[in-house]
Structure 1
Amino acid sequence: MTGIEPLLADLAVQSGQQGATIQEILLDLLPIALIAAGVGVFVAKVGKFPYTIALLLAGIGVSIIRFATGQFGIEIALSHDLILLVLLPPLLFEGAATTDLERLRRNLAPILALAAVGLVTSVAVVGFVGNWAFSLVGTDFTILLALLFAAMALPTDPVSVLALFKELGAPDRLSVLVEGESLVNDGVGVVIFTAFLGFVASETAPSELFSASGLGSLAVEILVVSGGGLLVGLVAGYAVYSVMINLDEHMTEIVLTLILTYGSFLLAEHYLHVSGVIATVVAGLFIGNRGTEYAMSPQTKISVFNALETMAFLVNTFIFLMIGVTTPIDQVADNAELIVVAIVLVLLARAVAVYPITAVVNRFIDPAIPRKYQHVMWWGGLHGSIPIALVLGLPPTLESGAAFPLREELRAMVFGVAAFSLVVQGLTMSNLMDRLDIVTRSDAEELYELLIGRRRAVEEALDAAERLKRRGDLPREVYEDFTGEYEREQEDLQEAIAALLSSNPELRRERLLVGERQVLQQEKSALMDAIRAGVITDDVGDRLLNEVNLKLEQVRNGETTVERDEEGYAEFWRSQAQEFGLDVEAEGDRRAMMD
């Protein structure tokens, strides 16, 4: 109910149906559901065709039919508020919650460089070059209008990127780089757009913007709005986490998660006037990482993430289809030359942002970002729902009452860039990754997931059989037959997993580091509980916590503290015990001496 009611209310307002009943609104939604179902059946039959892009193409088809015949109109219209307030928060939250915070931390430098410096650079390129290039096709674009267009069109869209990369199964690091940039740079992009829109609406002279005070105030505003969104996300995420850690009721925790999804965005955007996008992303990262480790039971994790995934799927279905349906075909056709110039400039600006900045960042990080990843980051910078939301937010008039300059042209250009980005770039992404020999998911990784999934199912079946036997619901003879069969399969699965890891050392190392990080986090939590309970003094606890933190840092840098044949990390308690006269030589060292 939390996500549906505001959606229906906004749809009613946007459809001009101030007195519309729920029944009328649902009747308007029915054609969308039928088209989406038809697209889903088509994609299931065809196979490897991105569902979101198929939805977009179907929506554009509807828009073309409506333009050509005047029939088959869908009354619901996308709006700035509908996208930003209703549709975007659950997509941002779900994308952030399913992002591994450790991988994001390891790639934070290139993500922030591209999301902030890269976006500002690309906006400047399109603004200054576009001021000249757009005039070549007979349109009088001022420098401020060109910058405004750049601020709308250039933010890479997390909705589009997350949807496409999930369907393609992109490598983890590449996914984190592209998705992380998309999740972060929208907050910066909205701030830049707001600033430029204010300059255009007030008919400010460009010289005022490019003065030292104008640029300084813009930089301060970006920092304040972005930092404020970060703080709101942390506070809101921690508040919900504090409730969830003392609660074990998965349905209530789903409601709390939905409250956090919309609440963090609304609190930041409409009450504190800071970045709602960044607030929602930070809240999602907090709950999706710390929350799942410490505040959610296994049942709660499954329920919460299933709810988020379902909501994200429904919203994605609606938004991609409606972007296609609301594409102004007549305006796009009338401004085709402008749109072609805009597409070329956007691709050029994206290249200027990606390649030089990545080259600089590569000097300071290890491992460096491969060139083939950079090609995907350039071509994979998709522009979709965020640019559409921003251009739909352009006012019809300036503050003076005059008509907003080139409003229809700007709308057509942004829709044209978004359509090219999602259709052409989106459809060719898989081929590009194949040509660059970027393995999406190896056969070994897929087999490992299959074996692990089946082993968990078998273990749960054995636990269920044990519970049924204790309650007397399962006769002993049936229980023995059942457990005998499943225990044999469990042994076979364990042997298969061991053989797979043995023959794939890279996979084994990756799983070892992931497991080690999770175990060390539990160690840290246990030590903190022991300090709070007074089991150990603060002095001893601090030394033990410091040691666990050192191990965690080692694991984060890709170095394991667990070795098969020797002690991978010499804990300080061993030296302390030996000084006291105790024989605590590590098992690995004893085996080495015996050999």
Structure 2
Amino acid sequence: MTLDIYLSIFTLLLIALGINVLSQKTRLPYTVLLVIAGSLLVPISEFETLSFVTSFQLTPELLFFVFLPILIFESAYHINVRNIKENKLAIGMLAIFGLLISTFFIGFVGHWVFQLLGFEIPFLVTLLFGAIISATDPVAVLALFKECGAPHRLTLIFEGESLFNDGTAFAMFLVFLQIIAHGYHGYPTLLEGVSDFSIMILGGIVFGLLMGVLFSKLIEWVKGYAHLELTLTLLVAHFTFLLTELISESWVIAGQPIHLSSIIATLFSSLVLGNYGRYKMSSDVEQYMEKFWEYFAFLANSLVFILMGLLFTSLFVSINIPIVPVLAIVCVVVLARAVSIYLAIGVGNLTRVEEHIPLSWQHLLSWGSLRGSLAVIMALLVPNDITLPGWPYEFSIKEFIIAITIGSIYFSLLIKAPTIKKMVRWLQIDHLLPHEELSYYKSKAMIYHEISDRIENLFNHHQISKKQYEAFKADYQRLHDEVCKQCREKTVDSSHVVENVLRIYTLGLQKSELKKMFRRGEITESVYLRNLDILEIQTEKVEKDKPKIKSINAYLVTWVEVIKKLYHRLLSLPFNREEKQELYLYYRTQNKLIGLVLDKLNYLEKSPLSEIFDSKEALQSVIAIYQALKDKAMQEMKKELSANQGLLDELNEQSAKAIFRSAQDEKLKELLENEIISDKLYFLLKNELDQS
């Protein structure tokens, strides 16, 4: 039996890989094809020789304790908290207000629709289903959004909503399940439900933050030991999840059981690790982490969706539920999503706190809401013996909820998912911004120009005939000329657009160099984050075509630093030496990054990129911007140095030593990779140099 399970897992993974290739060839959503493939496995397993295929089953425990923490961590780890702050109202309105609207709409309207169809389904059952089906699944949608070219902010809002409403939906599900199990007794039951819901959410947030900080500190403590760092990152998601569940089962305060949301706790611990803990890791571990978790999540998603299809088909065969109520509730769910989106975002737009969300985005958010693993988990976690007085049907409440949940998931995956791309094009959400359009044409032109050079090289080395050379050369010259013509026709105010593309390019250069400086140990984490924050804000300003940055101090002071400065002034306390060093390092880092950009800009006219950045006016404008910023950085550096004598030598020595350590490590790795030294000599030299 154990051998059959192992064989089943490996067979499912092999099938998933084949489906992934098929998805890329047919351009159909990967998750949709997985569910269809899983459904087909049930009749295939009827053959005795292939019966092992269904040996590995999707259970609530497997989904809840193994797969769910992986999926939460992988999504939350890559989310930038600053982006969430900028869209906190939109995400909050959708994840809480929108979820409540959807849940209660399904509860009330679903109950009414069932009565019209002659089915006596209690209101508490439709309300419980509302909590189950209202949470959206980001996995199946985000890949489609990115592939279709949906705006970054829209993708971020949807991902934020999906992550945060998972926790709130599950907490609400547990509250409704408790009410069904123990009965509704009026106001006291309502008050208890609100209290339990609040404790689960707030307690989960606090516990998740604590776990995230704890694991980040542990990673910092073992920094340099790659295997220990990676192990801690592997532990954080599951350990937080399981420990939260343990606390929820065992904690009792004043006779009241305390339940915390394990999903919310895991979400926040993952956010902390992704936005704070990642800077505590060694550079090699951080790079490996990205690839490892991406692959780990790919495997988890592949197994979850293919097993989901297998489970759905098996349950449909065994549950004898009329199809009419299933179709009716599917329509109610679609309508509930639309009502929740338009109401939640409409109210958010009226506040004018954040940038307006257009109606076309609302249409896509309404239609692009797919359901997945969490809905299946909640449906399967409904107790088998749960019932209500007067339940008139042979099938149980659990069987009914599973049937309508499966129907809703199938509709979202088989009808909604394949039409999302068409919806994006129809709503014209995928249109390119001016700087993207220019980059598109210029990049194509540069590629054709590069191929022309390669054709010349092949002919000169007698690798193609003269006839082939002339044919190839003519084809690619024609393509190059056509793209250049299209670019001239479609680009309005070319100089301004080139300037924006140039600014984005230079900001990317700065981000890359800044990360290298941090990894070499030239700057502290605080200085790195300050500079990175400014560069990301500038990038967003350029993408939105907002005014240029005029000062390197424009975003230097955060609200935390304002409070700190006010505190020092009130108590007449001088800033300590460490803060003065950080301020000087900040200006010195700015000076170095700007100097790098100016060198690159002066070289651009001779580089292969000159075909993209071909506007002298734009080039001179950007050079002028950076020259002014460099002058300002130099002034601030001199001011800090004149006020703090002896600071420069100390910081220069620290920076130099960090560069020396980085250089010796890079050289040692190069010698090892080129087999000039053996593993034995590598470790011998590394230990000796690290101790010197």
Task: Give yes or no for contact 1:253–1:304 (8 Å, CA) kept in 2.
Answer: no
Q: Deviations over 1:197-216 (max 9, x none)?
A: 111122x14x62xx3x4333
Partner of residue 370, structure 1: 358
Q: Structure 2 vs 1, CA of residues 169 and 291 (structure 1 numbering), >3 Å: closer, same or farther? A: farther
Change (3 A) 1:564 1:353: same
CA deviation digits over 1:213-268, x for unaligned, max 9?
43333222222111222122211111221122241233332211110121111112
Change (3 A) 1:41 1:275: same
Distance 1:545 1:380, change over 3 A: farther
CA distance in structure 1 between the aligned counterparts of 2:179 and 2:583, rounded to whole angstroms: 51
Aligned to 1:587: none
> What corresponds to 1:227 in structure 2?
202
Contact (CA 8 Å) 1:233, 1:282: kept in 2 or not? yes
The answer for the alignment partner of 1:415 in structure 2 is 406
1:117-156 matches, cutoff 5 A:
117-156=97-136
2:330 counterpart (336, 340, 343): 343
Please name the residue that 1:252 is paired with.
228
- Go from structure 1 to structure 2 and tell me whether the alpha carbon gap of 1:285 and 1:53 turns closer, same or farther (over 3 Å shift): same
Whether the 8 Å CA contact 1:332–1:413 is kept in 2: the answer is no
Equivalent of residue 322 in structure 1, options 297, 301, 307: 307
Deviates more, 1:64-73 or 1:138-147: 64-73
Among 24, 40, 53, the alignment partner of 1:61 is 40
Instruction: After superposing the two structures, state which structure 1 stretch, 107-116 or 536-545, moved more.
Output: 536-545
2:418 pairs with 1:427: yes
- Report 1:256-335 matches (<5 A): 256-272=232-248, 273-292=259-278, 294-327=279-312, 328-330=315-317, 334-335=321-322
Distance 1:197 1:404 in 2: 18
Evaluate the alpha carbon distance shift between residue 377 and residue 44 of structure 1 in structure 2; reply closer, same or farther with a 3 A threshold. closer
Residue 276 of structure 2 aligns to a residue whose secondary structure is helix
How much does 1:449 deviate? 11
CA–CA distance in 2 between the matches of 1:129 and 1:350?
A: 13
Correspondence for 1:109 among 89, 92, 95: 89
Would you say the 8 A contact 1:233–1:280 is kept in 2?
Answer: yes
Q: What's the offset of the Cα at 1:78? A: 1.5
Q: Give the corresponding residue for 1:159.
A: 139
**How far off its partner does 1:104 sit?**
1.7
Rounded Cα–Cα distance in structure 2 between residues aligned with 1:166 and 1:332: 38
3-state secondary structure, aligned to 1:350: helix
- Return the offset for 1:169: 5.2
Partner of 1:525: 526
| Rounded Cα–Cα distance in structure 2 between residues aligned with 1:501 and 1:252 | 51
Following superposition, the deviation at residue 511 of structure 1 comes to 6.1
1:190 is displaced (CA, Å) by 0.7
| 1:535-574 pair list within 5 angstroms | 538-539=575-576, 563-564=625-626, 566-567=628-629, 574=636
Partner of 2:14: 34
**TM-score calculated relative to the size of structure 1:** 0.72
- Residues 303 and 175 from structure 1, CA distance in 2 versus in 1: closer, same or farther, beyond 3 angstroms? same
Matched residue, 2:605:
none
SS in 1 for 2:54: coil
How many Å separate the matches in 2 of 1:296 and 1:97? 14
Could you tell me which of 57, 70, 73 is aligned with 1:77?
57
Residue deviations 1:529-552 (CA, integer Å, cap 9, x gap): 9x9xxxx96357668979999xxx
| 1:41 CA displacement | 3.1
Taking structure 1 as reference, are residues 501 and 50 closer, same or farther at Cα in structure 2, changes over 3 Å only? farther
CA gap 1:513/1:129 in 2 versus in 1, 3 angstroms: farther
Q: 1 CA distance for matches of 2:242 and 2:405?
A: 26
Tell me the distance in 2 between the aligned counterparts of 1:103 and 1:569. Answer: 31
Partner deviation per Cα, 1:259-311 (whole Å, 9 max, x = no partner): 0121111112332441111122212222222223x212332112111110111
Equivalence map 1:3-18=2 (5 Å): none
Q: Distance in 2 between matches of 1:447 and 1:289?
A: 35
Seen in structure 2, the aligned counterparts of structure 1 residues 218 and 449 have a Cα distance that, compared at 3 Å, is farther
Segment of structure 1 superposing worse, 83-92 or 222-231: 222-231
Map Cα deviations across residues 406-440 of structure 1 (whole Å, 9 max, x no partner): 32221110011011112211111111111111228
The residue type paired with residue 420 of structure 1 is F
Please state how far the C-alpha of 1:106 moved relative to its aligned partner.
0.9
| 1:427-446 equivalences in 2 (<5 Å) | 427-439=418-430, 442=436
Residue identity in the other structure for 2:526:
S
Partner SS for 2:352: coil
Contact 1:527–1:544 (Cα < 8 Å) also in 2: no
Aligned residue pairs total 491
- 1:569: how far off? 11
Contact 1:335/1:413, CA 8 A, preserved across alignment: no
Return the alpha-carbon distance in structure 2 between the equivalents of residues 405 and 226 of structure 1: 30
Question: Runs of 5+ in structure 1 lacking a partner?
Answer: 1-19, 451-499, 550-559, 582-595
For normalisation by structure 2, the TM-score amounts to: 0.63
Q: Residue 626 of structure 2: SS of its match in structure 1?
A: coil
Identify which of 356, 369, 392 aligns with 2:343: 356
Instruction: Determine the C-alpha separation between the residues in 2 that align with 1:266 and 1:144.
Output: 29
Distance 1:275 1:381 in 2: 23
> Is the CA contact (8 Å cut-off) linking 1:335 and 1:409 kept in structure 2?
no
* CA shift in 2, pair 1:565/1:38, >3 Å: closer
Q: How far off its partner does 1:66 sit? A: 6.5
Distance of 2:292 and 2:160 partners within structure 1? 22
Quickly say closer, same or farther: Cα 1:56–1:440, change in 2 above 3 A: farther
> Quick check: 1:159–1:385 contact (8 Å CA) kept in 2?
no
Shift of 1:348: 1.2
The amino acid across from 2:335 in the alignment is: L
- Change in Cα spacing, 1:104 to 1:569, as seen in structure 2 (3 Å) is farther
| Cα separation, partners in 2 of 1:405 and 1:198, compared to 1, 3 Å | farther
2:438 and 2:136 map into 1 onto residues whose CA distance is 32
Per-residue CA shift, 1:349-384, capped at 9, x if unaligned? 111111121122123333211221111111122111
Letter matched to residue 114 of structure 1: L
| % identical equivalent positions | 28
Q: Which has the higher contact order (CA 8 A, sep 6+)?
A: 1
Distance 1:414 1:297 in 2: 44
Answer whether contact 2:110 2:332 (CA < 8 A) is retained: yes
Q: Secondary structure at the match of 1:383?
A: coil
Task: Tell me how far apart the structure 2 counterparts of residues 515 and 238 of structure 1 sit (CA, whole Å).
Answer: 31
Return the offset for 1:339: 1.6
CA RMSD between the two structures:
4.2
The one-letter amino acid of 2:14's match is: L
